[in-house]
Structure 1
Amino acid sequence: MPKYDVIVIGSGPAGNAAAYALKEQGKNVAIIEADLWGGTCPNRGCDPKKMLMSGVEAKMRVERLTGKGFETSPEINWEELMAFKKSYTDSVPDSTQHGLASAKITTYHGTASFVDSKTIAVADQKLTAEQYLIATGQSPTVLPLEGKEHLRNSTDFLALEQLPKKVAFIGAGYIAFELAIIANAAGAQTHIIHHNDQPLKGFDRELVNQLVEHLEAAGINFHFNIDTQKIAKQAEGYQIIANDFELTADLVIGATGRKPNIDHLALEKANVDYDKKGIKVNERLQTSQAHIFACGDVLAKNTPKLTPVAGYEASYVVEAMNGQVSAIDYPLIPTIVFGDQRLARVGVSEKELAEHSEKYHTQTIDLAGWYTYQRINDQGAKIKFVYDEADKIVAITCLSQLADELINYLVILLTKQITHAELEKFIFAYPSPASDLSYFI
């Protein structure tokens, strides 16, 4: 039976990074992948989604300048845009596995399941290790409704060879929003159906409503307070059925959350605790078995399940497996909804702000007239600050074409508690989002 110092289960951004770091420490490392080498993010998640979104951004940038130097808005050629995406994604699995092999990290392809706390089975072979790291990530959930077999998911959308004429998304989280933005910009009649009236519940309600208005003006149809009960196959397309609501679409995408990839791990045989949210760990990312660690989106945690967070945890867990660290301490984590208008936030959660609203006050600034945004005709640009009782900034939400850039600068300012006087000592390139920072702090 092959024996290793560490076996990593999952080759996504977290597992991959950890495997390399462990190998650099001189350990004998193996890594197991049940699906595509490289994991969700580069293959069928954030990276290919952003490749498609680049077409949307280019189209909308020109559209905003129609009549200001441009006569017409360009059209997106779906097949060419998908080919652009594939120029990146097609090479990911082979390059990932080749890189691991070059680093002399042993690779196994197949579904891993624990035999006991020290032994794992994969591809009709048993392996053992002194330590394990579980980094198997998440996958889309499937709504338990009649006709659920007709639902497709984000993975299917990102692999569409042709874009249907009419697409409906069930769910109103960031995945539904981003995919709907892509579909709409590429020419599909697009609908978002949600069971309540609070889309993007992790973001500021005021700016979410403004984003919804922006997307409605762009042609996306929103249907709130619709509790979908059934998906029925029709001669042409699929019928979405709820009380007093019916809609027919060529493609129905379920975007109602994700679940941890733990079903095939047989965690009970290793006496590893878990629940429906994922694997339970302590403050050092150890499971109920001290030699078995876990990180990334497979964890049962309140911290946002995002690729950079998984990478942060991977760096931490490598040291934790050597017993060299104290409890994990997460920094400020920005979250973003991408699109032609991007929504970004950082700081105290919306849940905390709502539950203790008496402790906080807000300020919303319209940025549309600021030169940075006026030059790109970003008429919806806004930023919202939340202050505590001591007038300290505790949360920031941005809505603009440049929100993803701006939020990263603001993360640094908040983390380092940089004052206005200190900021005035910097000279930033102008005009840019950075050059406006001194007006905010």
Structure 2
Amino acid sequence: MTDTLDLIVIGAGMAGIAAAKKCAKAGWSVAIVDELPYGGTCALRGCDPKKMLRAGAEAADAARLLSDKGVAGEARIDWPALMKHKESFTDPVPESMEDGLKDAGVRTLHGRARFTADDRIEIDGHGEIAFRHALIAAGAKPRPLKFPGADRAIDSTDFLNLKELPKRIVFIGGGYISFEFAHIAARAGAEVTILDRGARQLKMFDPDLVDMLLDRSRAAGIEIVAEATPERIEGAGGAHRVTYKKGDKSRAIDADLVVHGAGRVPAVDHLDLDAAGIETERGGVKVTPWLQSASNPRIFAAGDAAASPGKPLTPVAVFEGKIAASNMLKGKQTEPDYTGVPSVVFTIPELARVGMLEEEARETGEVEVSFTDTSGWFSQKRLGESHAGAKIITGKDGTILGAHLFGPEYAELINFFSLAIKLGLTSQQLKSMPAAYPTAASDVGSMF
């Protein structure tokens, strides 16, 4: 490929695919490259396969909650069959994604890429390629663990491909990945422990609702050890022994499997960014507010690879990819609007958030906070669920500043609050919505 491309996209995940198609549709010559199968983390190694496995855990949990309320018989997860169910979704994705790109006029390349100059990139098996613009949308990877024996831990990708589920599992880290996978594994019959070095888990979520989640997690059989700093992992009778420090004492726990759930970092260290004069910040590409490299104007970045204000979420990656593409096409400096982006921890039940935390909102001035334990409401009663709650934060004028929910179906319900925040609606306007009854949405009006 000796011609100069209008755009080379590095990373065939949601951000990269969205940008590549948009620019190709506008008539640009576009190529996209990835060393991994096309589809990215969300479709292949994250959100989607995780939720496929969660479906089995939800069903088993639902049956157990109603075991003395009309549902008889033991609910049991067949892990290999559940994994095949997951693969029925993930297996066709790479070919489907690549076919869609080709149909859009995008050249699809496979191999590891690295920059060789400010306007050139080298791809294994394809040689050096010149470009007018490049979009770095390489996503994220597990944060390196820096203690002896850390290589004994598997990452989230490996967990989502387990052919059999071990009996004893230890998760390192107290964030999304550990809690979501722990809830799946516990419902599938594993003995699960979460080791978190922090005093507080899931720090980006409302602490009152996190406390509810911790209670619910323990009720599901998950042990949570806070302020536990891993020291080493070593072999122990054909299994693993995880030694951690809590307080001034070292303790140990044996496990058949150790899972790395201690966060992710931008996956850009293999791109030789220095060769293109691309500066980094917080591990990702340093960008302007309109997602252009702060040091090389040919380069843009989107999604987890960009050190932007956006959260590391798929919807953010998609709209960042589209905005970066539009800015390249039109030579504009349009900035992404991150208002009203919801975030969910898909535990059972789920924990959701959009907008400000209570402490953030109080710093802006006078606010009203409505915190309600909804565990006794009909929406939970019919399911036998014991834990649920809502915290809604509004300003003096009734504008919704933040919404925090924990309960069944609340991952769907948070979208109502997301739209309200996006459009600047007041609590009275949202309460005036006539919702179908009985549904989770019909609870909204009583949460204020």
Which of 377, 398, 402 is the matching residue for 1:370? 377
3-state DSSP of counterpart to 1:412: helix
- C-alpha change, 1:223 and 1:400, in structure 2 (3 Å) is same
CA RMSD of aligned residues (A): 1.9
Q: Which residue of 2 aligns with 1:45?
A: 46
Instruction: Tell me the CA shift for residue 198 of structure 1.
Output: 0.6
3-state DSSP of counterpart to 2:164: coil
Distance in 1 separating the partners of 2:67 and 2:365: 45
Q: Which residue of 2 aligns with 1:89?
A: 90
Contact between 2:111 and 2:124, CA under 8 Å: does it hold in 1? yes
3-state DSSP of counterpart to 1:62: helix
Instruction: Tell me the CA shift for residue 73 of structure 1.
Output: 4.0
Indicate whether 1:15 and 2:16 are aligned.
yes
Indicate whether 1:348 and 2:384 are aligned.
no
Which of 323, 329, 347 is the matching residue for 2:331? 323
Instruction: Tell me the CA shift for residue 416 of structure 1.
Output: 2.2
Q: Which residue of 2 aligns with 1:152?
A: 154
Q: Which residue of 2 aligns with 1:304?
A: 311
Give the letter aligned to residue 159 of structure 1. N
> Which of 81-90 and 421-430 deviates more?
421-430
Please list, as runs of the form range in 1=range in 2, the aligned pairs for 1:60-139 lying within 5 A after superposition. Answer: 60-124=61-125, 125-139=127-141
Q: Which residue of 1 aligns with 2:205?
A: 203
Distance in 2 separating the partners of 1:71 and 1:336: 32
Instruction: Tell me the CA shift for residue 170 of structure 1.
Output: 0.6
Give the letter aligned to residue 37 of structure 1. Y
Distance in 1 separating the partners of 2:357 and 2:285: 23
- C-alpha change, 1:425 and 1:195, in structure 2 (3 Å) is closer
3-state DSSP of counterpart to 1:26: coil
- C-alpha change, 1:386 and 1:438, in structure 2 (3 Å) is closer
Which of 415, 434, 447 is the matching residue for 1:427? 434
- C-alpha change, 1:293 and 1:384, in structure 2 (3 Å) is same
Give the letter aligned to residue 130 of structure 1. R
Instruction: Tell me the CA shift for residue 10 of structure 1.
Output: 0.5
Q: TM-score, normalised by structure 1?
A: 0.95
Distance in 2 separating the partners of 1:2 and 1:48: 39
Q: Which residue of 2 aligns with 1:262?
A: 268
Q: Which residue of 1 aligns with 2:290?
A: 284
Give the letter aligned to residue 126 of structure 1. E
Distance in 2 separating the partners of 1:349 and 1:119: 44
Instruction: Tell me the CA shift for residue 358 of structure 1.
Output: 7.9
Distance in 2 separating the partners of 1:351 and 1:289: 38
Contact between 2:170 and 2:255, CA under 8 Å: does it hold in 1? yes
Q: Which residue of 2 aligns with 1:171?
A: 173
Instruction: Tell me the CA shift for residue 94 of structure 1.
Output: 1.6
- C-alpha change, 1:358 and 1:252, in structure 2 (3 Å) is farther
Uncovered stretches (5+) of structure 1, i.e. residues with no partner: none
Matched-pair identity in %: 36
Contact between 2:239 and 2:255, CA under 8 Å: does it hold in 1? yes
Distance in 2 separating the partners of 1:291 and 1:32: 17
Q: Which residue of 2 aligns with 1:413?
A: 420
Indicate whether 1:275 and 2:281 are aligned.
yes
Give the letter aligned to residue 347 of structure 2. G
**Count of residues paired in the alignment:** 440
Uncovered stretches (5+) of structure 2, i.e. residues with no partner: none
- C-alpha change, 1:73 and 1:410, in structure 2 (3 Å) is farther
